[in-house]
């Protein structure tokens, strides 16, 4: 009897667990797809030709990949999507002129390249040439990276990211060490003041920031993006807290052995706080690489000094028919962060745990 | 704390004034070396990389002055040897100055002598460099007015400058004698003093930058908001005019009403979604890390990328229309909502659809002028909540319940008096400006008195209440008097009386807040909520008062300011007509704005999911086991354990996302630029365009005033976060 009752109770339990698990995975996959779909569609959209990208109904895979030929010159559809493009895509601009004809080069600060305009050739049925054409995206004043804007944007972003990460990590580590390990008059007052400055909303200092930067003559230069953000309170706070959690016996021992302050920092402290340094570096990289508002504000004027996010926005607003190139440009911005995210997944999560103090 | 610590640790504490003076001198010398070194290196860097750091701004504004700096003599080029020489000098000098700091710290006499010599050379060449810069400026001006500028101008100025050379030498010698010579006396300097020196060295970059780019800018913003200026013209003091204009500016009101909707919808939606996702991810199952990575991906990519992708997906020929119109067949439904699909387009142009959804303006006739009284009732309810909080606080601190009841009744009665008197005063006395400024400054007075209260440590709650009432009242009075003077209003008996009562009231409120804060911090009520059984009505109320109180307070202060202003405006026949604030607020967000909301939820919800997840993993599983043994079903375990334990995180998430959403900018600048028909106009974007939108009319002062109004609202939220979450961040 007992065995039978056990069996009858065990069976439904087992079933509900299986059903629950299946339901959970279905739900998870659905949510995961929702979160990944925009990226996937955009990535695939980057391989489409100039015409295909505006065709309706849109298809998920590029035509060339499925062996299509829908956009061959001979059997091009009667209804040519580009013709009524600007009747349908009207976003009112407040001050800028609306480009009425994409072929009229005088209306755009860019010069369209012949290759990217056609986009689709017989040889390039997989749309890979878009990845090359994006580097010829717009015409800039000729410089050391050639006469097109996109390479400059990419380089500017990389350059700024390197400088920002270096300065922020270095200076935050120094300051964090001072707050966590050293005694000096006014330490608590300065630390409290530092946390208090986090409460100042960014919107308030936006405009005077521009006025100041313009007064110094840094508008259009990278100083404006390096110096004001060279030290981050968030970074100092993170380093301070992390260092406080590490026992200081090792340092004391080194000090007794006659090591100097610098030796203690570089030989003993830095190896110990490597996880925090990675969190800090990732945070600084993400902040610099994804930053939009300050570069938009300070890097006014010549498109050559834009960073990638500002450049992408600029490109999109001047070239609203070139969606395939815009999407590829976006991929250049998104993929480095996503790759770093995949590698250092754990540290991103840790960074979010600290975000409570960031405001 | 730190001061005491450092004093305790000092093996050889400073004994007399002499030693203090010596140590001050060495600080001076070292700071001098540091400053010289850093400035020189910065000069060198600026000269070294003109092509990278060169300003293109002037060029693009068509300014002809730049070609002088491009021209031969003033640039570092094979011809311009001056610059080449100076560059080398600055590198060597900067490095040497910095390099001497360790030597000086160890008091090597050779280092001292060398630094003395270098100081002289440095002073001379720096003067030379500055003179040269002045000549460049002068040459620019000369050229601008059509004169001629060449090397002879520089030589002339150089000779003139040489006249002050003896003075420079004397000054340098005097400085060195006063501060530098006796450095050697500090040989016996203790370890801790040196440590303090290094500590200041390490935090000096932060201090320098923060004093300029945080505090400096804040002061500058405050100053600018009282002035009328553009980027190029003169500065005119206009007093509070900018603020007044902002409150009457239809565009600003529209932007505030938009962003209020935005914050309401996005905060609620993304908190719920983040919570749900975290609960879903909390249990252990295969591929958990994979899913976490996938979910979090939208949060790490830049807003520009997501905006561009969404702009494409939601365009007329995008995927969303394919899904909505062709796969789901919702075309009829959308047309039924009164949204017109543009001819020639295969679907809706989401970002170009100004139709507002959720229009409740038909409710307006039922409220109308009564908004003001609704606000009064809300304030009363707030006072009840706060009073109950005070009662519980006093009870738990073993003071007499009778006194608690008295304070509570007094608070409630004062609120009633205040509200009715305030309403009466509105009709009786004062100009419109006084009313408006009074309401606006009430927020300021509240913050001031709250801060003051928190600094007070008093023995008994009764003394606490009395003192805080008095102090709050005084602060309030001062604020009001200043406001009245500022606007040229009169102070009569009625005004003063009402002001005093108002001040007392606000002081009491502030005291209650302070008590509440100290209670929250000392007792951690979220732990007690779990174990409390059979709570009384007052305790239940106080529970709500404890968590929701500051949020409500900030909201009501802001809301009250708006509504009372507008109600007054309506009575007097406002020039805003139908477009007054509450009418705007009732019309709901547009389709375009909702699409942006969707995007924000998509990008930010995963971040908050991680916060919830981190908190969920700290919840001890024994709690659930115990509950299970007691026979609680999963739903009960969720609502009785998970939700209350996560309350601090929820508060953090709500506050953080409110601050974030109120400062929305990127998406608007990329996607809609405030359009269509201003339905996606938000304050930060309006501020940006007002100050920098066009070269012709750049209204920097007005933009700063708007920024300050927005900033006050955001500050209220941030303040709550800091006050209430300090204990939460201590754990890390």
Q: Is B13 inside any structural domain?
A: yes
Chain A residues 54-113 with CB within 8 Å of chain B: 54-58, 81, 84, 87-95
pLDDT of residue B6: 40
Q: Is B195 inside any structural domain?
A: no
A217-242 pLDDT, tens digit per residue, is 788 888 888 888 888 888 888 888 88
pLDDT of residue B341: 76
Token pair, residue B725, equals 């979450």
Mean pLDDT score of chain B, rounded to an integer?
Answer: 63
A27-64 pLDDT, tens digit per residue, is 889 988 888 888 988 888 888 877 777 777 777 777 76
Quote the minimal CA–CA distance from A353 to chain B in Å.
6
Q: Does residue B519 share a domain with residue B456?
A: yes
The helix (H) or strand (E) run that includes residue B119 is helix B109-144
pLDDT of residue B96: 63
Q: Is B194 inside any structural domain?
A: no
Q: Does residue B651 share a domain with residue B570?
A: no
Q: Does residue B377 share a domain with residue B331?
A: no
Q: Is B217 inside any structural domain?
A: no
Q: Does residue B376 share a domain with residue B279?
A: no
Could you give the residue ranges of the DSSP H alpha helices within A49-147?
A: 85-88, 114-118, 129-133
Quote the minimal CA–CA distance from B430 to chain A in Å.
31
pLDDT band with cut points at 50, 70 and 90 for residue A77? very low
Q: Report the distance separating Cα A333 and Cα B422, nearest Å.
A: 56
Q: Is B63 inside any structural domain?
A: yes
Q: Does residue B171 share a domain with residue B152?
A: yes
In B, which residues are within 8 Å of A296 by CB distance?
669
In A, which residues are within 8 Å of B675 by CB distance?
91-92, 94
What value, to the nearest 5°, has the Cα angle with vertex A155 and ends A153 and A159? 120
Transcribe B208-254 into DSSP letters.
HHHIIIIIIHHHHHHHHTTEE--SSS--EE-TTHHHHHHHH-HHHHH
- Whether B210 sits inside 8 A of A31 (CB atoms) is no
Q: Does residue B269 share a domain with residue B391?
A: no
pLDDT of residue B643: 78
B340/A79: higher pLDDT: B340
Q: Does residue B410 share a domain with residue B553?
A: yes
Chain B residues 275-334 with CB within 8 Å of chain A: 277, 280, 285, 287, 289, 291-298, 300-306, 308-313, 315-319, 321-322, 326
Q: What is the CATH number of domain A149-357?
A: 1.10.3720.10
Chain A residues 139-178 with CB within 8 Å of chain B: 171, 174-175, 177-178
Q: Report the distance separating Cα B569 and Cα B55, nearest Å.
A: 48
A294/B344: higher pLDDT: A294
Q: Does residue B639 share a domain with residue B526?
A: no
Q: Given B557, B579, B601, which residue is the final one in a domain?
A: B579
A98-112, A168-182, A244-258: which range is least confident on average?
Answer: A98-112
Count residue pairs from A and B with Cβ separation < 8 A: 354
Best CA proximity match to A245, nearest among B731, B615, B4: B731
Segment A323-332 shows an average pLDDT of: 87
Chain B residues 666-685 with CB within 8 Å of chain A: 666, 669-676, 683-684
| Domain range for B112 | 2-189
Q: Is B210 inside any structural domain?
A: no
For A141, which DSSP code?
E
Judge whether B244 and B433 are in contact, CB under 8 Å: yes
Segment A204-229 shows an average pLDDT of: 84
Q: Is B710 inside any structural domain?
A: yes
Q: Does residue B451 share a domain with residue B352?
A: no
What's the burial of B6, exposed, middle or buried (CB within 10 Å: 0-12/13-18/19+)? buried
A296 Cβ contact partners less than 8 Å away, ≥ 6 residues apart: A310, A313, B669
Q: Does residue B466 share a domain with residue B396?
A: yes
Mean pLDDT score of chain A, rounded to an integer?
Answer: 74
Q: Is B204 inside any structural domain?
A: no
Boundaries of every domain in chain A:
149-357
B162 touches chain A (CB under 8 A): no
Q: Given B125, B160, B189, which residue is the final one in a domain?
A: B189
Q: Report the distance separating Cα B276 and Cα B536, nearest Å.
A: 31
Best CA proximity match to B590, nearest among B490, B500, B681, B710: B681
Which residues of chain B register pLDDT less than 50? 1-18, 21, 49-81, 178-190, 363-373, 375-376, 398-405, 408, 412, 415-416, 419-420, 423-424, 426-501, 503-504, 507, 513-533, 544-554, 556-579, 726-732
pLDDT of residue A227: 87
Chain A residues 201-240 with CB within 8 Å of chain B: 201-212, 214, 217-223, 227-228, 230-231, 233, 236
B715 Cα distance to chain centroid: 6
Q: Does residue B155 share a domain with residue B262?
A: no
In A, which residues are within 8 Å of B722 by CB distance?
195-196, 198-199
B137 Cβ contact partners less than 8 Å away, ≥ 6 residues apart: none
Q: Please confirm whether the linkage preceding B273 is cis (ω < 30° from 0).
A: no
Shortest CB distance from A35 goes to which of B9, B297, B349?
A: B297
- Residue to mutate among A18, A27, A34, A35, with most B CBs inside 10 A, is A35
Token pair, residue B581, equals 């604030």
Instruction: Count structural domains, chain B.
Output: 3
Q: Given B579, B602, B618, which residue is the final one in a domain?
A: B579
**Percent residues over pLDDT 70 in chain A:** 75
B31-47 pLDDT, tens digit per residue, is 766 776 777 667 666 65
Q: Does residue B330 share a domain with residue B299?
A: yes
């Amino acid at each position: 009897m007992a065995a039978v009752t056990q069996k009858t109770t065990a069976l439904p339990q087992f079933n509900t667990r299986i059903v629950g698990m299946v339901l959970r995975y279905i739900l998870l996959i659905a949510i995961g797809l929702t979160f990944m779909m925009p990226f996937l569609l955009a990535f695939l959209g980057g391989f489409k030709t100039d015409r295909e990208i505006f065709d309706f109904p849109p298809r998920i895979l590029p035509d060339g990949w499925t062996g299509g030929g829908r956009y061959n010159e001979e059997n091009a559809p009667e209804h040519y999507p580009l013709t009524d493009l600007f009747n349908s895509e009207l976003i009112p601009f407040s001050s800028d002129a609306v480009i009425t004809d994409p072929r009229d080069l005088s209306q755009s600060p860019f010069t369209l390249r012949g290759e990217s305009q056609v986009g689709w050739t017989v040889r390039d049925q997989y749309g890979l040439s878009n990845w090359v054409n994006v580097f010829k995206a717009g015409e800039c004043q000729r410089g050391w990276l050639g006469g097109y804007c996109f390479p400059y944007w990419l380089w500017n972003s990389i350059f700024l990211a390197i400088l920002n990460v270096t300065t922020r990590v270095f200076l935050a580590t120094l300051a964090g060490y001072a707050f966590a390990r050293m005694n000096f008059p006014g330490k608590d007052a300065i630390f409290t003041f530092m946390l208090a400055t986090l409460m100042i909303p960014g919107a308030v200092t936006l405009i005077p920031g521009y006025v100041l930067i313009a007064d110094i003559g840094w508008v259009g230069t990278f100083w404006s993006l390096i110096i004001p953000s060279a030290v981050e309170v968030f970074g100092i706070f993170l380093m301070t807290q992390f260092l406080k959690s590490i026992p200081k016996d090792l340092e004391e021992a080194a000090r007794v052995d006659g090591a100097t302050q610098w030796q203690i920092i570089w030989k003993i402290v830095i190896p110990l706080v490597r996880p925090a340094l990675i969190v800090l570096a990732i945070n600084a990289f993400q902040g610099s690489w994804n930053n939009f508002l300050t570069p938009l504000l300070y890097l006014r004027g010549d498109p050559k000094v834009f960073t990638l996010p500002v450049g992408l926005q600029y490109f999109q607003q001047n070239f609203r028919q070139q969606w395939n190139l815009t999407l590829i440009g976006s991929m250049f911005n998104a993929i480095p962060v996503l790759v770093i995210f995949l590698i250092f997944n754990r540290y991103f999560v840790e960074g979010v745990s600290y975000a409570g103090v960031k405001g | 704390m730190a001061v005491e610590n450092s004093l305790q640790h000092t093996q050889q504490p400073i004994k007399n004034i002499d030693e203090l003076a010596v140590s001050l001198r060495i600080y001076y010398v070292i700071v001098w070396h540091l400053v010289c070194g850093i400035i020189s290196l910065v000069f060198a860097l600026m000269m070294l990389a003109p092509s990278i750091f060169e300003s293109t701004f002037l060029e693009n504004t068509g300014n002809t002055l730049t070609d002088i700096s491009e021209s031969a003599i003033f640039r570092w080029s094979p011809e311009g040897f001056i610059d080449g020489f100076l560059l080398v000098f600055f590198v060597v000098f900067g490095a040497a100055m910095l390099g001497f700091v360790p030597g000086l710290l160890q008091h090597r006499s050779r280092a001292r002598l060398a630094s003395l010599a270098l100081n002289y050379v440095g002073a001379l060449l720096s003067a030379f460099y500055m003179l040269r810069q002045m000549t460049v400026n002068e040459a620019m001006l000369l050229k601008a007015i059509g004169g001629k500028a060449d090397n002879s101008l520089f030589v002339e100025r150089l000779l003139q400058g040489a006249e002050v050379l003896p003075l420079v030498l004397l000054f340098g010698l005097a400085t060195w004698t006063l501060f530098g010579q006796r450095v050697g006396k500090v040989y016996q300097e203790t370890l801790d003093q040196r440590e303090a020196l290094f500590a200041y060295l390490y935090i000096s970059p932060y201090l320098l930058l923060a004093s300029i780019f945080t505090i400096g800018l804040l002061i500058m913003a405050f100053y600018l908001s009282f002035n009328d200026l553009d980027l190029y013209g003169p500065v005119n003091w206009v007093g509070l005019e900018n603020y007044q204009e902002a409150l009457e500016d239809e565009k600003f009101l529209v932007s505030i009403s938009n962003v209020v909707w935005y914050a309401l919808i996005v905060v609620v939606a993304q908190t719920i979604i983040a919570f749900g996702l975290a609960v879903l991810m909390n249990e252990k199952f295969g591929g958990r890390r994979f899913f976490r990575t996938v979910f979090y991906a939208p949060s790490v990519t830049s807003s520009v990328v997501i905006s561009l992708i969404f702009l494409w997906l939601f365009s007329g020929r995008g995927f969303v229309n394919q899904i909505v119109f062709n796969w789901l067949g919702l075309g009829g439904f959308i047309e039924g909502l009164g949204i017109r699909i543009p001819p020639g387009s295969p679907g809706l142009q989401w970002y170009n659809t100004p139709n507002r959804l959720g229009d409740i303006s038909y409710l307006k006739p039922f409220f109308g002028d009564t908004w003001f009284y609704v606000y009064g009732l809300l304030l009363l309810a707030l006072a009840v909540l706060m009073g109950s909080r005070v009662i519980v606080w006093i009870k738990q601190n073993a003071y007499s319940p009778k006194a608690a009841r008295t304070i509570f009744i007094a608070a409630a009665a004062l609120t009633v008096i205040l509200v009715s008197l305030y309403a009466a005063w509105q009709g009786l006395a004062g100009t419109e400006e006084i009313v408006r400024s009074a309401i606006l400054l009430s927020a300021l007075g509240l913050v001031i008195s709250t801060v003051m209260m928190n600094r007070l440590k008093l023995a008994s709650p009764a003394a606490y209440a009395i003192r805080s009432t008095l102090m709050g009242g005084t602060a309030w009075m001062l604020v009001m008097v200043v406001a009245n003077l500022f606007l040229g209003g009169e102070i009569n008996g009625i005004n003063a009386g009402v002001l005093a009562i108002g001040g007392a009231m606000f002081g009491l409120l502030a005291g209650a807040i302070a008590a509440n804060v100290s209670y929250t911090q000392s007792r951690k009520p979220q732990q007690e909520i779990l174990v409390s059984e059979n709570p009384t009505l007052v305790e239940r109320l106080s529970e709500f008062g404890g968590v929701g109180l500051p949020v409500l307070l900030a909201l009501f202060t802001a809301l009250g300011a708006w509504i009372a202003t507008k109600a007054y405006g309506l009575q007097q026949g406002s020039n805003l007509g139908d477009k007054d604030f509450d009418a705007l607020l009732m019309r709901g967000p547009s389709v375009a704005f909702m699409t942006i909301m969707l995007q924000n939820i998509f990008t930010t919800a995963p971040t908050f999911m991680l916060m919830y997840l981190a908190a969920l993993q700290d919840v001890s599983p024994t709690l659930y086991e115990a509950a299970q043994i007691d026979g609680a079903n999963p739903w009960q375990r969720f609502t009785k354990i998970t939700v209350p334990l996560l309350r601090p995180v929820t508060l953090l998430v709500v506050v953080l996302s409110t601050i974030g959403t109120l400062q929305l900018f990127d998406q608007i600048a990329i996607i809609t630029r405030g359009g269509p028909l201003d339905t996606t106009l938000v304050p930060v974007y309006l501020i940006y365009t007002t100050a920098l939108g066009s070269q012709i009319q750049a209204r920097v002062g007005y933009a700063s005033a708007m920024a300050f109004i927005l900033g006050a609202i955001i500050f209220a939220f941030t303040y709550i976060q800091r006050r209430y979450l300090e204990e939460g961040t201590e754990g890390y």
